[in-house]
Amino acid sequence: MRHPKRFPFVAAAAVAAFALTGCAVQGSDAGARSTRACIVLPDTTSSPRWEGSDRPALERAVKDAGFQVVSDNAEGDSSAFLRIASEMIDGGCGVMILADVGGAAAQVAIDAHARGIPVVAYDRPFTGADFLVSFDYERIGALQGQSILDGLSAAGVDPGLAVVDFVGGDDDDPTAALTRQGAVGVLAAAGVSPSADLPAAWDAAKAAETVGTSLDLLGRVDAIWAANDTNAAGAIQALDARGMRAIVTGQDATLAGLRSVLLGTQASTVLKPYSAEAKTAAQVAVTILFGETPESDGELDDGTPYVYVHASLITPERVSEAIDAGAASLADVCAGIEDACSRYHVA
C-alpha cells in the first residue's frame, strides 16, 4: 500500500459519468435517474452492522444531500448480488456503492462502467472499483495482535512458547485476509506462530465447533485470535464448555462483544464507527452526483483511491468510548452485569 496523500479522484472508466446527465440511461427520465445512488450490501448474518448501522446511515446521508437512493441486501449470495445490481443499473444509477459478496462486485463494476456509472467499493476492496471507503484492516489486525501480546505479557507467558489458535473469517471476504495479515505481522515479529488455523467464516457456531476440536486435541490454549466478535463468541462458547479461559480478540464492538470484554472472557474488540464510514462513502457518492471530483487520502497498490475511517481498540477500560460512539446503549451493555460496568466506570 502506498503512503497516504491527498489528490483528486480520477476514475479510470467513469470520468465522463460524473456529470449529473452523463449516465448512459435511456428514456425521458434519464436525467432524474442519474441522480440516484444505488447501494448493495452483503448480508445480514456476518455482523448486525449492515442493516442496523450501515444501510440507514448511507440512505440518510444521500437523501439529506437531496439525492435519490435505492438499497438492497444480497443476503450472502453472490448470484443475488449480481441480480440486484443488474436491476439497479437497468433502473438507472448515477453512482453505485457496493459491499462485495464472493467477488461479485468486480463483475458489477464492469457492467456499471459499460453504462458510464462510477463505482465506490464500500468496506471491502474489489478489482475495478473507482474508489474505496473502508477501515484499514491491516491496522485492525495489528491492534488485535498487539492485544494478544499484551495479554501474554500480563500472564507471564513467553510469546515464543504460547499456544495461539487463529479463527479466521470468510475466505471470500478480502477484509478477513487483510486483518489476518496485520495480526500475523505483529505476532510473528514476537515469535508467535498459530498452533491451529481454523476456518469460521463469520459463523459463531462454526467457530465453536472448530475451536472445540482444537481444544480437545491440544488440551490447552493461551490465546485465540478471533477475526471478529461473531467468531469470538463461538470461541468463548467452546472455552466455557471446557472450563477454560484464554486471551480472545474480536472486532466490530458488537453488544455481545462489549459485554464479553467487560466480563473478561474477551480481551478486546475493535470499534469501527460504521456511521462515520457510511457518511464518508455517501459524501464520496454525493460529490460524484454533483459532478465534482472527490479527494482521497491515498491509493492502493493497484491505484484505487481510498479514504480510511479510523478504528480503535476497545479494552474494558474503553468500553464507554464504544457506547459514546453509538456501538450499543449503556442500558443494553450493562444489563445484568452492573458490577463489571461499575468496575470499569462504564456509566
Domain spans in the chain, listed from the N-terminal domain onward: 7-129+274-308, 137-272+315-343
Can you spell out the DSSP letters for 151-197?
Answer: HHHHTT--GGG--EEEE---TT-HHHHHHHHHHHHHHHHTT---SEE
Q: Mean pLDDT, the chain, as a whole number?
A: 90
Question: Which pTM value belongs to this model?
Answer: 0.85
Q: What pLDDT score does 45 carry? A: 86
Q: Report which of residues 29 and 196 the model is more confident about.
A: 196
Residue 31 — pLDDT band, cuts 50, 70, 90? Answer: very low
Torsion of CA 184, 185, 191, 193, to 10 degrees: 20
User: How many other CB atoms are found less than 10 A from the CB of residue 46?
Assistant: 21
128-177 pLDDT, tens digit per residue, is: 999 999 999 999 999 999 999 999 999 999 999 999 999 999 888 899 99
What nine digits make up the cell of 280? 464518508
Architecture of the domain delimited by 137-272+315-343: 3-Layer(aba) Sandwich (3.40)
Q: Check for a shared fold between 7-129+274-308 and 137-272+315-343.
A: yes
Reply yes or no on whether the pLDDT at 181 is more than 90. Answer: yes
Distance CA 53, CA 59 (A): 10
Half-sphere exposure in the Cβ direction for 279 (13 Å, CA):
6
Given a cut of 60, whether residue 2 has pLDDT beyond it is no
pLDDT at 197 over 80: yes
Residue 286 φ/ψ, nearest 5 degrees: -65, -40
- Identify the CATH homologous superfamily for domain 7-129+274-308: Response regulator (3.40.50.2300)
